[in-house]
């Protein structure tokens, strides 16, 4: 028998109650721990409870009834939902035959967490480089928040270092010695009394261990909780999480597989062609399309080997290959008060090597009804992992406009500007506000589509040579300007392109009242974008935007395979150069005539 004064844990306390009460109390405990993973067990008035930021809250149990105490303010907030229960001094009392709904407990705990953790962010460290670091800093400065940049020795003179209020070198050029050193970044943050860390995209942005490290050091991680990152970081775990929400998924298996005989049996059942995918994959790595059974074994071995090499995890799974797909993703934002909103879709079907190059919003083929269905499905995906912050839910859309859940990216996407433009929002500002514990300031019905936006990722890659990286010195680097043009940039004229990182120089974004207007502004902006010293994807972008398949909206993820080759691009570029030369000669002759007129 446990004496009341000897009780040191919640489980010991729960053991004192009859089994029917224990079931309810254990469920309450699970709800609290799931919603407030940063809380710890504590003792108050001989009753075990939870502690968060030095405050007690959440758990209660008494001899004659069971209860739950979130705080008087939380009871006031949820007074309508709590009407069936007795409430007094921050305690909710409910009878055994009517236990409080566990979803409501989660909402109340989330409110209390926000209430206890809400604080002003006076200083943010951006654990990234290039254009995304500057993008985050601009919003932070607009909000009156000081910024700290971190940089490698290769980025010592980079624009993001100059743009920040403070900057600290964290290591040598390789990312493993600088931008991926989470412990070093935490050390800098604590030394400079930083309140929060924004990871940007790439590097540590989807690293659950880093998110946990921030939490352990009382630093706000401006992103989702580590649990959500873990779930959605594994395609298999993600499928398991969302399958209870009736979200369409591509036919296949929901478990890792390495047995060739079993794989052949499954492939025959769902029908060729099939797709082998790495569970921890991304960017096309560990992915193989298999058209025929005889190729299955060799392709599966390659996929496993590549997945192990790239991610340290060789688990793969099999699903039906969707031919002629469109890649559609939905931008979502979730707060700690139970609100999840979607900011419509982005079309990301133009890809090279399974990686996005061109994005647009909205998609040219979605009906308003389909858009709503996909948006609501994305919200369910976010709720399936108790999401917080900005995220993107990716879907495949087949030729018959059936959509299938693909994966969730637990970070701010590279292509977020097109969503910002058409929805008239600052997604980085919303990220910061929900990380502070604030509720989203709008409702779903408030979010409307305004016009059309396009984005071209300007990579230092050679489109005339299979998009190989183009390393060199930016001898000339002039950005386009004008109405309907936005450039999120991370470089300056005179800089060298480091070999250690992703070769993206900037993002060229254009927008107009219509898709056609946005395309015309984009083509003009590409012509005005001046880069000398390295090859870029600008010529490829112009090729795409001028192509009839893109202009008509009749394209899929096979656009590059169907229509593009370095030879075609070279021929088109040479033709344009000849036409430009002829126009220049004609203009010269006309100018010459004007000059001679006074002598006639």
Catalytic residue, candidates 225, 346, 411, 486 = 411
Tokens of 371: 């858009």
Pair 125, 150: CB distance under 8 Å: yes
Q: Which residue reads 């898709």 in tokens?
A: 515
Q: How many CB atoms lie within 10 A of CB 215?
A: 15
Rounded to 5°, angle at Cα 557 from 556 and 563: 75
Distance CA 408, CA 378 (A): 9
Active-site residue flag, 476: no
Task: Answer whether 480's CB lies under 8 Å from 517's CB.
Answer: no
SS (H, E, C) 28-92: HHHHHHHHCCCCEEEEECCEEEEEECCEEEEEEECCCCEEEECCHHHHHHCCCCCCCCEEECCEE
CA dihedral for 296, 298, 299, 305, sign (positive or negative) = positive
Select from 558, 266, 251, 250 the least CA-distant residue to 407. 250
- How do 166-171 and 146-152 pair as beta strands? parallel
Name 404's Cβ contacts closer than 8 Å, sequence gap at least 6. 248, 249, 250, 322, 395, 396, 398
Q: Provide the token pair at 222.
A: 């401006």
Token pair, residue 348, equals 């990301």
Closest to 27 (Cα-Cα) out of 39, 14, 40, 38: 14
Catalytic positions are 411
């Amino acid at each position: 028998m446990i004496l009341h004064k000897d009780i040191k844990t919640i489980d010991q306390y729960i053991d004192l109650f009859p089994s029917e009460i224990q079931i309810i109390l254990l469920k309450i405990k699970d709800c609290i721990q799931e919603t407030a993973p940063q809380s710890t067990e504590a003792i108050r008035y001989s009753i075990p409870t939870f502690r968060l930021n030095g405050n007690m809250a959440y758990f209660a149990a008494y001899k004659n009834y069971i209860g739950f105490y979130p705080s008087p303010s939380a009871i006031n907030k949820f007074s309508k939902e709590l009407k069936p229960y007795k409430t007094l001094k921050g305690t909710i009392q409910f009878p055994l035959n009517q236990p409080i709904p566990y979803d409501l407990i989660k909402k109340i705990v989330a409110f209390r967490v926000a209430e206890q953790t809400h604080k002003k962010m006076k200083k943010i460290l951006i654990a990234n480089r290039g254009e995304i670091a500057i993008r985050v800093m601009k919003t932070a400065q607009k909000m009156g928040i000081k910024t700290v940049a971190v940089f490698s020795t290769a980025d010592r003179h980079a624009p993001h270092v100059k743009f920040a209020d403070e900057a600290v070198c964290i290591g040598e050029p390789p990312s493993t010695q600088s931008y991926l050193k989470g412990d070093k970044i935490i050390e800098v943050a604590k030394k400079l009394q930083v309140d929060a860390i924004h990871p940007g995209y790439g590097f540590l942005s989807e690293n659950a261990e880093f998110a946990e490290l921030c939490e352990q050091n009382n630093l706000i991680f401006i992103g989702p909780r580590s649990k959500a990152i873990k779930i959605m970081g594994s395609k298999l775990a993600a499928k398991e999480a969302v399958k209870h929400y009736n979200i369409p998924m591509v036919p296949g298996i929901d478990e890792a597989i390495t047995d060739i005989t079993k794989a052949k049996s499954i492939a025959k059942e769902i029908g060729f062609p099939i797709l082998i995918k790495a569970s921890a994959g991304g960017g096309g790595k560990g992915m193989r399309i298999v058209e025929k059974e005889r190729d299955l074994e060799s392709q599966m071995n390659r996929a496993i080997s590549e997945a192990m090499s790239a991610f340290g995890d060789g688990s793969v799974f099999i699903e039906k290959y969707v031919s002629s797909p469109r890649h559609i993703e939905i931008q979502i934002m979730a707060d700690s008060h139970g609100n999840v909103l979607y900011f419509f879709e982005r079309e990301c079907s133009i890809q090279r090597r399974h990686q996005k190059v061109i994005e647009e919003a909205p998609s040219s083929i979605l009906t308003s009804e389909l858009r709503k269905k996909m948006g609501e499905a994305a919200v369910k995906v976010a709720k399936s992992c108790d999401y917080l912050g900005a995220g993107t839910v990716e879907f495949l859309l087949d030729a018959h406009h059936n959509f299938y859940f693909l994966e969730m990216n637990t970070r701010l996407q590279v292509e977020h500007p097109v969503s910002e433009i058409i929805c008239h929002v600052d997604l980085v500002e919303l990220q910061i506000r929900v990380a502070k514990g604030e509720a989203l300031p709008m409702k779903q019905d408030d979010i409307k589509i305004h016009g059309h936006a396009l984005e071209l990722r300007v990579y230092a890659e050679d489109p005339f040579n299979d998009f190989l990286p183009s390393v060199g010195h930016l001898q000339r680097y002039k950005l386009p300007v004008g109405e309907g043009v936005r450039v999120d940039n991370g470089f300056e004229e005179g800089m060298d392109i480091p070999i250690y990182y992703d070769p993206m120089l900037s993002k060229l974004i254009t927008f107009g009242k219509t898709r056609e207007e946005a395309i015309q502004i984009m083509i003009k902006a590409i012509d005005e974008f001046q880069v000398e010293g390295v090859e870029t994807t600008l010529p490829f972008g112009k090729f795409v935007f001028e192509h009839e398949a893109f202009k008509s909206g009749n394209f899929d993820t096979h656009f590059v395979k169907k229509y593009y080759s370095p030879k075609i691009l070279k021929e088109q570029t040479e033709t344009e150069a000849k036409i430009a030369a002829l126009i220049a000669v004609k203009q010269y002759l006309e100018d010459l005539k004007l000059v001679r007129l006074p002598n006639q």
